């Protein structure tokens, strides 16, 4: 079974236009919960769902408009770092989505940038 706990970045497409989102998943056995923040007018949502093997499914409910309940289903990659699938609001509103793990270790990112651009400085920040 995939372990999905942590930060994720992704996009979903509606009418061929992408909307970016940030998600934080919390997994306990097969249960999934967390929050999603869309880069759009609907904003933050709560999610509840489950993971079975590499299959993921969850419901997203927006805090500012609980009538907007979106169903997501998809597949997690074998390495557990990517997922994609389909979302559905109703019979007329659906589309693809994808997400990948987010690396929020800014100090690690800084060291990587320094090592690439100024190798002598990267060793002094360790």
Domain ranges across the chain: 6-122
| 49, pLDDT greater than 70 | yes
What are the residues whose beta carbons fall under 8 Å from the beta carbon of 108, sequence distance 6 or more?
none
Average confidence (pLDDT) over 89-115: 76
Please tell me the predicted confidence (pLDDT) of residue 16: 87
What are the residues whose beta carbons fall under 8 Å from the beta carbon of 98, sequence distance 6 or more?
10, 11, 82, 83, 84, 85
pLDDT tens digits, residue range 16-25? 899 999 999 9
| CATH number for the domain running over 6-122 | 2.40.128.120
Average confidence (pLDDT) over 44-69: 94
CA distance from start to end of the chain: 35
Please tell me the predicted confidence (pLDDT) of residue 107: 46
Does this model's pTM top 0.85? Answer: no
Lowest model confidence (mean pLDDT) among 46-60, 69-83, 103-117 = 103-117
């Amino acid at each position: 079974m995939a372990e999905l706990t942590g930060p994720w970045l992704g996009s979903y497409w509606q009418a061929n236009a992408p909307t970016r989102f940030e998600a934080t998943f919390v997994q306990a056995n097969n249960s999934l919960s967390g929050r999603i923040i869309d880069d759009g007018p609907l904003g933050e949502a709560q999610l509840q769902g489950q993971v079975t093997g590499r299959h993921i499914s969850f419901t997203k409910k927006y805090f500012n408009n609980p009538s907007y309940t979106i169903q997501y289903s998809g597949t997690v990659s074998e390495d557990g770092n990517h997922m994609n699938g389909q979302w559905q609001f109703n019979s007329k509103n659906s589309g693809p989505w994808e997400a990948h793990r987010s690396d929020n270790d800014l100090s690690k990112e800084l060291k990587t940038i320094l090592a690439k651009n100024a190798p002598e400085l990267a060793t002094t920040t360790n």
